[in-house]
Amino acid sequence: MAIIPITIYGDKILREKTKKVKQVDDEVIQNIRDMFETMRAAHGIGLAANQVGLNKSIFVIDLTPVEGYEESSPLVMINPVITAESDDSVIYEEGCLSLPNLRADVERAEAIEIKYLDTDEKEQIIEADDWMARVILHEYDHLIGKMIPDRVAQDIKKRLKGELTDIMNRNMDVDYPITD
């Protein structure tokens, strides 16, 4: 197992659409283990493969630190596709391990349906709402090259500009390994 430096806003790989996984082989299983270890070491609740420098359509989620989700099972989603989104949306403050210390209000669908492959290459389809839906949509965004600043209102984006420049220049405090 290994803790991998997390890619940071401005790193090119975070803007690329990730490639579909063709086969869940030993390498992919090792990638997933490393992703969980890296995420937990950074106290994150979700992590996408391109956040550890891998151009693969995979994310991991562990919501157990979140109130009300203590009993939830960690999730691995490979080649996920959002198949439905509710018309109702909600605005909540979000953060991201690739945007250290930044917080911003993001509007997202309240409930979703998502299809993906599990680690046995079996197709799964689940419905999710509330925080699970939010984290899934956030991680799914990473896989298509989108991040929080792409999802906030224009006035918020303007307000974040200075902070985003500082992040790109590594001009911030961060207590987990990040890319140079």
Q: Which residues here bind Zn ion, judged by CB under 5 A?
A: 96
Select the residue whose beta carbon is closest to Zn ion and give its number: 96
> Which residue among 70, 127, 139, 163 is the active-site one?
139
Taking the complex as a whole, the smallest distance from the CB of residue 132 to Zn ion amounts, in Å, to 15
Compare residues 77 and 96 and give the one whose CB is closer to Zn ion. 96
Compare residues 25 and 150 and give the one whose CB is closer to Zn ion. 150
27 is catalytic: no
Compare residues 96 and 109 and give the one whose CB is closer to Zn ion. 96
Q: Fill in the amino acid letter for 68.
A: G
DSSP-assigned letters across all residues of 46-81? EEEGGGGT--SSEEEE--TTSTT-TTPPPEEEEEEE
Taking the complex as a whole, the smallest distance from the CB of residue 26 to Zn ion amounts, in Å, to 27
Q: What is the 3-state secondary structure (H, E, C) of 78-136?
A: EEEEEEEECCCEEEEEEEECCEEEEEEEEEEECEEEEEEECCCCCEEEEEEEHHHHHHH
Taking the complex as a whole, the smallest distance from the CB of residue 44 to Zn ion amounts, in Å, to 8
Residue positions annotated with a catalytic role: 139
